[in-house]
Amino acid sequence: METQTATAAGSVLILFGGALLVWCALELRLRHRLRRHGVPATARVVVDGDPYGELYGDPYGELDTAPLLSYSTLPTVGAAGAGEAESVLSRPRGHTRLRRPAGLLPGAVVQVAYDARRPSRVVLAASETSPCLPSDVFWVLLGTSALAVGLSLIASALQS
């Protein structure tokens, strides 16, 4: 491989791998913080009004890996409009399975934790989610391997 091509490819892989690892770290930190310090709530899985669902043979959104959740926030204290609860529609963070688990079908009631400052940031409670470890490990390995290949391409280009 030419030196310029190896350098360019290595640089792109280093940027991709580094960005992916940073994204993974931030996402894991956010999910962990929300599960530990978020406001617990009960949410209902609702049917998303996806117009393409029927075209793909999925009218109830069972193939959608991130279900649409409906939940009410606790009343805020000391803010404008104090004492009002807000109804929120949002998708949970960190759910990346290929098929939706049976416990997340439309109509199911699940436990969630949301950010009090930004109620649309929500995660499934630890008891509700199946282990996300395999998908998290996959993304970390992908980022690490892209970074390693990029560094080896740069090193080989510098040796030539």
**Rounded (5°) CA angle 133-59-65:** 10
Beta carbons within 10 angstroms of residue 17's beta carbon: 20
pLDDT value of residue 22: 95
CA dist 66 and 100 (Å) reads 8
pLDDT value of residue 49: 65
CA dist 88 and 52 (Å) reads 23
Each residue's pLDDT, cut to its tens digit, for the chain (160 residues) gives: 688 999 999 999 999 999 999 999 998 898 889 889 989 999 998 877 655 555 455 555 555 567 788 898 877 655 555 557 788 888 888 755 556 666 777 788 888 899 888 888 888 887 666 667 777 888 899 999 999 999 999 999 988 7
Cβ-contact 44, 108 below 8 angstroms: yes
Q: What is the DSSP letter of 65?
A: S
CA dist 49 and 32 (Å) reads 30
Please provide residue 103's backbone torsions phi and psi, each rounded to the nearest 5 degrees. -75, -5
pLDDT value of residue 119: 87
Please provide residue 45's backbone torsions phi and psi, each rounded to the nearest 5 degrees. -75, 125
CA-based nearest residue to 96, from 120, 130, 50, 47: 130
CA dist 90 and 123 (Å) reads 10
Among all chains, which residue has been given the structure tokens 């992916």?
20
Q: Indicate the SS3 state at residue 115.
A: coil
| pTM exceeds 0.75 | no
CA-based nearest residue to 90, from 55, 38, 26, 25: 38
Q: Which residues share a beta bridge with 90?
A: 69
